[in-house]
Structure 1
Amino acid sequence: MAGEQNSETTEMFRRMALSMFKGAPAGFRRTSLSARADRHGASGGVTNVLAGGRARPGPRDFHQQLSRVYDLAGTGTDELGIEIVVDPTGRFEAVTGRALLSRRGSAPGTEQCLYVRRPDVLPPDAGDDAPGPSRAARSGDPVEAVQLLDRYLRKRAAILGLPEGDLEWLPRPLEPAEIDDLEQSSPDITLPEDLRALYAVADGDGGDGGARLMDRHSWFDLRHVAARYRSDLWWLTAASWSSHHPHAVRYDASPFGLVRRSARRPGWIPFAENGGGDFLAVDMDPAEGGRPGQVIRIGRNHDDGPVHVADSVTALLRAQLDALERGAYECDVENGELWIETGLPKRRRAALSHSRVHEAAASLDNVQALVTTGETDLEPLRGARRLWRVCLSGATAVELAPLGDVPLESLELDLASVDLAPLTEHPTLRTVTVRTAAPLSLAPLRDCPRLYGLDLSNAAVRDIETVAEMKGLLYLSLRHEQWLDLWDRTGSPFAPAVPVLAGTTTPGQLVEWAAHFADGDQSDALHYYEGQLTV
C-alpha cells in the first residue's frame, strides 16, 4: 500500500517538519499537520499537543509547500490528503493519498482519518427520497415577468432620480438563438419560461458592482449561469465525502414540503449571487408540494438546507415592485443603491432545538431537531412528523421507544447505557453515533434499511461482528483495537466504502491499517515518508 519515498517530496516534508518543530511550544508532545490540496491550492492547520493532552493550534502558512507536494504527487484533478507528525526527538512521518481525509476534533484523541475506498459511492441524500411535484406545470408567467421588470426598473429609476426610461446601462438582450445555444451547452440547464423571457430583455444586470436587481443579488448574465453550473460540478460538492458529516441533517424549508432537503442538486440553477457566497436559484427539481421554477436561496450559509424564497421569478419581481410602491425601502441616491424590504425569507428558520422536551412537543409540526441533556422523557414527541435529528446526552438511561414512531434520520447518544432495541428495523434511520461505557448490542440495527453510517469509536460493543451483516453500511468509524476485534471475529477485513480510523494515530499506523483494505487497485494507495531532523 505504501509506495517508495520520492526524494523531492521527502525534502519538502523535512522543511515543513522543521518549521513545525521550531514553531512548537516548549514541552510539546506531538505536532501534526492535516491538510487537503488540489489544483486550486491547499489548506490545513497545525495542532500542537502539550503535556496533559492539552492542544494548541499552530501556524497555517504552509500553502506553498503543500501545493508543491500536490504537484509532485501527480494526482491530476483529484484532491490529495496530507498528514505530517513530528515528535520531540525530531523524527517525522508523513502520508499522502487521494483516498485520505482527516478530521480533527476539539481535543487530542478525537481525530478521525477517513479512507475513501469507493469515491464513486456518494453519501445518501435525503432529498432523493422525496416524491416529485404533484403539479408538474412550471410556475411563473413570462409576459407578466417582463412587464414587472419594466415597471420595477422605472420605479427604481424614479426613486434614484434617474431619467425615466433610461435603461441603457443594462446589458444587451439576448436573441432566442443565443439563449438556446447557452442552454444546450449545458444539457442539464433548463430555464423556467419567466427567467428565459427576462434574458430576452437584458442579459443580467451587469454583475457584481451593478444594480443587484434580484433582491439585492447580482443577476448573472446567462453565459455566467452556464459557466458556474458547469464549473467543478459545484452543486455536487456537498455530496462528496470530503465535505460530508454523517450527522449533517438537511432541514425542511418553510412552507414545508416544497423544496427537497438537500444542500445541492443538479436541478438547482443559480442565477444571482449576494457577494457573500449565497445564491438565488431556480428550482427545477422541487419536492411534492413545490413547482418547477420556484426560487430558493442556497450557498455557503445554507448547507443545512435551502430557503424557499418565492413561487417563481415572476413572484420575486412582484414582491420587489410591491415593496417599492408601499415605500418599504431605504435609498442611497448618491451611490445609486436601494435596499428593498420585500419581506421574502432570507434565512431558513433554524430547526427547533430544545433542552426541554415538553416545550418542543407544544408544536410538533415545527420540530425538526432535538438536542437535550439530562433526564429525558421522549414520549411527548411520539408522532412528530419532521423530527429528523435527535441528540441525547448526560442521562443515565433514556427510553427510545417513542423514536420508533418518528421519521428519525440521525441519532447521537452520549449516555451511561443504551438499549437500541426500540429502533429495530427503523425505516428512516440513516446514521447513529453512540458513546457509552456499558456494553452495547448492535443487533437491533442489523435490518434498518437506510442505515449507512455508524460511529462506535467511543462505545463498548458486545457484538461488533454485527456490522458485517449490515448490507447498506457505507461509513464505519472505529478505534484501531475495535477494527482488529472486528476482523478477528469475522475472519476477514470487512471493508465498507469509507472505513474510518478514530483516535490519535501516526502516519505509519495509518498506512498499516489501510493495508488491510488493499484489493489490488493502487489508485487509492497511500504513500509513506519518514525522516529525522537535525535538532
Structure 2
Amino acid sequence: MDLDPGPLGRSGQLLKTGRGIDNTVDYVAESATSVLAAVVAAARADRFDPILIENLDEDPDDDEYEDIGVLIDEFHTSYPQSFAIGGRALAEVVGEFPDPLLVQALFLHTATTLDLTALAGTPRLRRLFVNATGHVRASVPPLLESLTITSGSVDWAALAGHPTLWELTVTGAPVRAADLAALPALTRLDLSATEVDDVAALADLDLRVLILNPGQWDKLARLPARLVCAGFVGDGAEDWATRIREIHPG
C-alpha cells in the first residue's frame, strides 16, 4: 500500500514489486477497498474457482495466481503493452488507449519515423522500447526511467535534462557523448550495438553500469569513477577482462 505517492498517484493505492515483476513497480488498484469490493462482487457472481482457491497456499509462485488479478482488473482498465506502429501517427495510437494514465510500459515496433512527443498523454510511463527504421525524436514523459531504442537516427537533444532516465540501451542510432552528459540521472548505459563519437568521454559520466563492444573498450583509457559493473559484447572477453583489471586494479 502506497501511503506516500508521487504527484500523479493516490494515497492508499496498491502496488506490487519484487521477483517476477517486469517493471520496477506495477500498479494493482486504487485502494484495498476496491480490491475487496472486486472479490465480493466475484463471489456473489460465482466467479471464484474453488479448486484455484484451495491450491493458492500450495505454490504462491504458480501462474494460477494471475487469475486472481482478473477480479481486480475489472476495477481498472488494462492495456496491451505492444503496438505495431507502421505508418500510423503515434498520437493516434495513444488516443486508443482505454486509460493512458495506467500505462507504465510500452513496446513500439515496426515504425518508420516516430515522434515520441505524443507520449505526453501517458505521464506515468516508466519503461519504453522503440524499434523504428527511420528517425526518432526522443521527447519522452518526465517519469520515464528506462529507454531501449533501435533506430536509424535519434534526436537526442530532446532528452536533454531528463530528470529520471537512468537506463539507456541503443542499437543502430549514432550517439554523441555530449548528449549523454546532458542526462543527469543516467547510471546504466549499453552502447555495444551502436557508434559513439567520443568513447573516451564516457569515462566522465557518473555511470554504475557500462556495456560496450571490443572496439569501444579499446578506446576507453579509464573507467567512470563510480562504475561497479562493466559489460563486454563480442569476442575476446578474457583479454578484455585482463585489460580492465590493469586500468582499474581495484
TM-score of the pair, normalised by structure 1: 0.36
CA contact (8 A) 1:474 1:498 kept: yes
* Partner amino acid, structure 2, of 1:343: L
Superposition pairs for residues 471-482 of structure 1, below 5 Å? 472-482=206-216
Superposition pairs for residues 240-259 of structure 1, below 5 Å? none
Q: Secondary structure of the equivalent of 1:425?
A: coil
What's the CA shift for 1:431?
1.5
Instruction: Name the counterpart of 1:434.
Output: 170
Aligned equivalent of 2:81, options 352, 358, 363: 352
- In structure 1, runs of 5+ residues without a counterpart are 1-129, 135-255, 258-287, 520-535
What's the CA shift for 1:434?
1.7
Q: Secondary structure of the equivalent of 1:449?
A: coil
Provide the C-alpha distance between the structure 2 equivalents of 1:506 and 1:372, rounded to a whole number of angstroms.
32
* Partner amino acid, structure 2, of 1:354: F
Aligned equivalent of 1:391, options 118, 126, 129: 129
Provide the C-alpha distance between the structure 1 equivalents of 2:5 and 2:39, rounded to a whole number of angstroms.
27
Q: Secondary structure of the equivalent of 1:289?
A: coil
Superposition pairs for residues 73-472 of structure 1, below 5 Å? 132-133=4-5, 288-291=9-12, 300-304=19-23, 305-306=25-26, 308=28, 311-312=31-32, 320=39, 323-331=42-50, 337=54, 343-345=71-73, 349=78, 352-356=81-85, 357=90, 358-363=92-97, 364-368=100-104, 369-378=106-115, 379-400=117-138, 402-403=139-140, 406-436=142-172, 439-470=174-205, 472=206
Does the C-alpha gap of structure 1 residues 442 and 373 become closer, same or farther in structure 2, counting only changes over 3 Å? farther
CA shift digits 1:258-281 (9 cap, x unpaired): xxxxxxxxxxxxxxxxxxxxxxxx
CA contact (8 A) 2:164 2:185 kept: yes
Provide the C-alpha distance between the structure 1 equivalents of 2:137 and 2:95, rounded to a whole number of angstroms.
17
Provide the C-alpha distance between the structure 2 equivalents of 1:380 and 1:435, rounded to a whole number of angstroms.
22
CA contact (8 A) 1:408 1:428 kept: yes
Q: Secondary structure of the equivalent of 2:136?
A: coil
Provide the C-alpha distance between the structure 2 equivalents of 1:365 and 1:408, rounded to a whole number of angstroms.
13
Does the C-alpha gap of structure 1 residues 296 and 477 become closer, same or farther in structure 2, counting only changes over 3 Å? closer
What's the CA shift for 1:395?
1.7
CA contact (8 A) 1:390 1:412 kept: yes
Provide the C-alpha distance between the structure 2 equivalents of 1:296 and 1:382, rounded to a whole number of angstroms.
23
CA shift digits 1:91-115 (9 cap, x unpaired): xxxxxxxxxxxxxxxxxxxxxxxxx
Does the C-alpha gap of structure 1 residues 447 and 300 become closer, same or farther in structure 2, counting only changes over 3 Å? closer
* Partner amino acid, structure 2, of 1:308: V
Q: Secondary structure of the equivalent of 1:510?
A: helix
* Partner amino acid, structure 2, of 1:352: Q
Q: Secondary structure of the equivalent of 1:390?
A: strand
CA shift digits 1:222-281 (9 cap, x unpaired): xxxxxxxxxxxxxxxxxxxxxxxxxxxxxxxxxx96xxxxxxxxxxxxxxxxxxxxxxxx
Q: Which has the larger radius of gyration?
A: 1
Does the C-alpha gap of structure 1 residues 351 and 302 become closer, same or farther in structure 2, counting only changes over 3 Å? farther
Q: Secondary structure of the equivalent of 1:355?
A: strand
Does the C-alpha gap of structure 1 residues 370 and 514 become closer, same or farther in structure 2, counting only changes over 3 Å? same
What's the CA shift for 1:310?
7.9
Provide the C-alpha distance between the structure 2 equivalents of 1:425 and 1:131, rounded to a whole number of angstroms.
29
Provide the C-alpha distance between the structure 2 equivalents of 1:399 and 1:315, rounded to a whole number of angstroms.
39
Does the C-alpha gap of structure 1 residues 322 and 415 become closer, same or farther in structure 2, counting only changes over 3 Å? closer
CA contact (8 A) 2:114 2:134 kept: no
CA contact (8 A) 1:457 1:502 kept: yes
CA contact (8 A) 1:425 1:446 kept: no
CA contact (8 A) 2:114 2:135 kept: no
What's the CA shift for 1:468?
2.5
CA contact (8 A) 1:353 1:360 kept: no
CA contact (8 A) 2:142 2:163 kept: no
CA contact (8 A) 2:142 2:162 kept: no
What's the CA shift for 1:421?
1.7
Instruction: Name the counterpart of 2:231.
Output: 500
Q: Secondary structure of the equivalent of 2:135?
A: coil
RMSD: 3.9
CA contact (8 A) 2:113 2:132 kept: no
* Partner amino acid, structure 2, of 1:511: T
- Number of residue pairs matched? 225
CA contact (8 A) 1:307 1:345 kept: no
Provide the C-alpha distance between the structure 2 equivalents of 1:297 and 1:432, rounded to a whole number of angstroms.
24
Does the C-alpha gap of structure 1 residues 338 and 317 become closer, same or farther in structure 2, counting only changes over 3 Å? farther
Provide the C-alpha distance between the structure 2 equivalents of 1:497 and 1:310, rounded to a whole number of angstroms.
38
Does the C-alpha gap of structure 1 residues 385 and 439 become closer, same or farther in structure 2, counting only changes over 3 Å? closer
Q: Secondary structure of the equivalent of 1:413?
A: strand
- In structure 2, runs of 5+ residues without a counterpart are 57-66
What's the CA shift for 1:485?
0.8
What's the CA shift for 1:456?
0.9
Instruction: Name the counterpart of 1:219.
Output: none
